[in-house]
Structure 1
Amino acid sequence: MSIPEIVQSTLGDEQVAATVPLGGEDALYVTPTRTLIYRGDGLLSDESVVEYSHDAERIEVTEGRRKATVALDYGIDGVEEFTVPAKRLHDALHPVLAGVLNGADVTDANEQVIQTYQFSELTLVVTSARVVKHVGEAVWDEDFEQYHFEDVTRLDVEEGTVSSQIIIEADGRPQRVKTPSDRTREVRERVERALLSYHDADSYAEFERSAAPDDADDEASDDAGDAADVDGPFGGGVDPIQANPPELDDDGQVVEADSDAGVDDASADALGDTANADAETATDAGDASADVETGSGDSVVADDPVGDAASSGTESADAVDVDDATSEDERVGTGGDGALATAGRESAAESREEAADGESSGFAGSGFEPAEENMGDDVEERLAALTEAVERQNELLERQQRTIERLVDRLSRGQ
Structure 2
Amino acid sequence: MDVPDLVRQSLGDEEIQAGVSLGDDDAICFTPTRSLVYRSEGLLSDEGVSEYAHDFERLAVSEGRRKTKYTMTYVDREEKFTVPGNRTDPVLERLVESNLRIEGVLDDDESVTGVFRFSELTLVVAQQRVLKHVGSYTWDGDFEVYDYDDVTGLHFEDGSVATAVVIEAGGRPERIKAPNEQAGVVRRTLQEALFDYHEVDSLDALNRKIAVETEDPNADESDDHSSGLGLDSGIDPLVSDSDDDEAAESEPEPAAGQSGGGTASTSARERDSSAGQSTQTAASTVDLESAADAASTAAESTAASSDDLDAVTDQLEELTAAVEQQNELLEQQQRTVKQLIEELRRGR
Q: Same fold (TM over 0.5)?
A: yes
Amino acid at match of 1:167: V
CA deviation after TM superposition for structure 1 residue 177, in Å: 0.7
Within 2, Cα distance between the matches of 1:242 and 1:148?
55
Q: What is the match of residue 109 of structure 1? A: 108
Q: Does 1:207 align with 2:206?
A: yes
Within 1, Cα distance between the matches of 2:29 and 2:206?
37
Q: How does 1:256-335 map to 2 (within 5 A)?
A: none
CA deviation after TM superposition for structure 1 residue 30, in Å: 1.1
Within 2, Cα distance between the matches of 1:230 and 1:111?
54
CA deviation after TM superposition for structure 1 residue 21, in Å: 1.1
Within 2, Cα distance between the matches of 1:184 and 1:222?
42
CA deviation after TM superposition for structure 1 residue 195, in Å: 0.4
- Label 1:203 to 1:164 Cα distance change in 2 as closer, same or farther (>3 A): closer
Within 1, Cα distance between the matches of 2:25 and 2:31?
19
Q: What is the match of residue 219 of structure 1? A: 215
Q: How does 1:29-108 map to 2 (within 5 A)?
A: 29-75=29-75, 77-108=76-107
State how many pairs are aligned.
239
Within 2, Cα distance between the matches of 1:40 and 1:221?
68
Q: What is the match of residue 8 of structure 1? A: 8
Amino acid at match of 2:19: T
Within 2, Cα distance between the matches of 1:230 and 1:104?
56
Query: What TM-score comes out, normalization by structure 1 length?
Result: 0.53
Within 2, Cα distance between the matches of 1:242 and 1:173?
43
Within 1, Cα distance between the matches of 2:209 and 2:95?
35
Within 2, Cα distance between the matches of 1:222 and 1:73?
55
Q: What is the match of residue 281 of structure 2? A: none
CA deviation after TM superposition for structure 1 residue 220, in Å: 4.5
Q: Does 1:240 align with 2:239?
A: no
Amino acid at match of 1:239: G
Amino acid at match of 1:53: A
CA deviation after TM superposition for structure 1 residue 56, in Å: 0.8
User: Aligned residues: percent identity?
Assistant: 43
Over residues 353-387 of structure 1, what are the superposed CA-to-partner deviations in whole Å (9 max), with x where a residue is unaligned?
xxxxxxxxxxxxxxxxxxxxxxxxxxxxxxxxxxx
| Contact 2:154–2:207 (Cα < 8 Å) also in 1 | no
RMSD over aligned Cα atoms: 2.8
Secondary structure at 1:221's aligned position in 2?
Answer: coil
CA deviation after TM superposition for structure 1 residue 202, in Å: 2.6
Within 1, Cα distance between the matches of 2:146 and 2:194?
11
CA deviation after TM superposition for structure 1 residue 65, in Å: 2.7
Secondary structure at 1:153's aligned position in 2?
Answer: strand
Question: Which ranges in structure 1 are unaligned for 5 or more consecutive residues?
Answer: 244-415
Within 2, Cα distance between the matches of 1:229 and 1:11?
73
Q: How does 1:65-214 map to 2 (within 5 A)?
A: 65-75=65-75, 77-212=76-211, 214=212
| Contact 2:112–2:124 (Cα < 8 Å) also in 1 | yes
Within 2, Cα distance between the matches of 1:66 and 1:204?
38
Question: Which ranges in structure 2 are unaligned for 5 or more consecutive residues?
Answer: 239-348
Secondary structure at 1:7's aligned position in 2?
Answer: helix
CA deviation after TM superposition for structure 1 residue 228, in Å: 8.1
Q: What is the match of residue 242 of structure 2? A: none
| Contact 2:114–2:124 (Cα < 8 Å) also in 1 | yes
Amino acid at match of 2:61: V
Query: What TM-score comes out, normalization by structure 2 length?
Result: 0.62
Within 1, Cα distance between the matches of 2:13 and 2:136?
36
Secondary structure at 1:23's aligned position in 2?
Answer: coil
Q: What is the match of residue 341 of structure 1? A: none
Within 2, Cα distance between the matches of 1:82 and 1:45?
15
CA deviation after TM superposition for structure 1 residue 238, in Å: 4.6
Within 2, Cα distance between the matches of 1:104 and 1:92?
18
Within 2, Cα distance between the matches of 1:169 and 1:175?
6
Within 2, Cα distance between the matches of 1:144 and 1:199?
24
Within 2, Cα distance between the matches of 1:165 and 1:9?
48
Q: What is the match of residue 283 of structure 1? A: none
| Contact 2:116–2:122 (Cα < 8 Å) also in 1 | yes
Within 2, Cα distance between the matches of 1:34 and 1:145?
25
